[in-house]
Amino acid sequence: MAAFAANSLLCRAALRDAHIDPATFGAVRVTSGALVLALAMRVRARPTAVADWRAAAMLFAYVAAFSFAYLTLPAGTGALILFGAVQLTMFAVGLARGERFSPRGWAGLALAVAGFVVLVLPGVAAPPAAGAALMAVAGIAWGAYSLRGRGVPDPLAATASNFLRAMPLALALGLAFVGRAHADVAGVLLAIASGALTSGLGYVIWYAALRGLSALQAASVQLSVPVIAACAGTLWLDEAFTARLLAAVVAILGGIALVLTDRARKRG
């Protein structure tokens, strides 16, 4: 979870001070992650995973939307929108597969949605609408990517395969925005750190952890990410922890917690 929060901090730090443009950041992030994972696979000298182009497309969609969203969003706000959208995506998939909520679960879902509304309502403290929408897209993509990752037999091979197949898409995005491209040493290093460490190796750890976690546990542990990102953003990036953000954190995370405990009670 620290790696996920660090991705928000690294991306926001790179883009806020214009060290790099978002398309280049995304391209460097995916490429550095792919290279590190390819090296790890070569050292291990074991067969790669079966190609999963859907997972690779979801990974690319997440990285692209995430990068452009952090042009305008603070780290904590972005992480809250991201992981709130992740959880709502997982809940929606559960409903589509026939799962039903009790009144307690529906109340939690309503509270979480209300938290989103509070966060994005127009006003002085509201996040930019375009950035919030892009981060919601990133959350949907990451939620779908996480669902596909549950049960993969070889987390390293699966993550390496996904990064390798997402790399040409990320490079194409960089070329599409080449007219606006810029980067200094700090920006490139932040993108490499995000790709090689907190994304590439971090996602291997996440895929491995998913094998030993129930869907409820996997959803629950991710609730810590927005809090970590918001606190670290306040300390490292001097971002304000506003009353609106606090209210949204309480509503979104509290609502999601109600849904999760409701599902846990049903299974217990």
Task: Using DSSP, state whether 20 is helix, strand or coil.
Answer: strand
Contacts with 162 (C-beta within 8 Å, 6 or more apart), sequence order: 52, 55, 56, 59, 145
pLDDT recorded at residue 214: 60
| Structure confidence at residue 124 (pLDDT) | 47
Contact 229, 79 (CB under 8 A): yes
Give φ, ψ of 183 to 5 degrees. Answer: -165, 140
Are the beta carbons of 197 and 7 closer than 8 angstroms?
no
* Distance in angstroms between the alpha carbons of the first and the last residue of the chain: 26
Contact 20, 192 (CB under 8 A): no
Residue-wise pLDDT tens digits, 96-152:
877 777 788 788 878 887 887 777 666 545 678 899 999 999 999 988 988 887 767
The reported pLDDT for the residue numbered 47 is 62
**Rounded Cα–Cα distance for residues 150 and 208 (Å):** 9
- Identify the pLDDT of residue 226: 79
User: Tokens representing 79?
Assistant: 């992480």
What pTM did the predictor assign?
Answer: 0.83
* pLDDT in the model for residue 114: 83
The tokens describing 111, both together, are 């509270």
Phi-psi region of 238 (alpha: psi -120 to 50; beta: other; left: phi over 0): left
Calpha distance 59→80 (Å, rounded): 19
pLDDT value at position 217?
Answer: 60
Distance CA 95, CA 262 (A): 14
Q: CA-CA distance, 252 to 27, in Å (whole number)? A: 31
Classify 183 as helix, strand or coil.
strand
**Is-contact 207 159, C-beta < 8 A?**
yes
What are the DSSP calls for 187-222, one per residue?
Answer: HHHHHHIIIIIIIIIHHHHHHHHHTTS-HHHHHHHT
Say what the pLDDT of residue 171 is: 96
* Burial of 121 from C-beta contacts in 10 A (0-12 / 13-18 / 19+): exposed
What's the full length of the chain, in residues? 268
pLDDT at position 187 is 96
Spans of the chain, pLDDT less than 70: 45-50, 120-126, 151, 207, 210-221, 223, 263-268
How far apart CA 27 and CA 164 sit, in angstroms, is 12
Helix (H) or strand (E) holding 90: helix 75-96
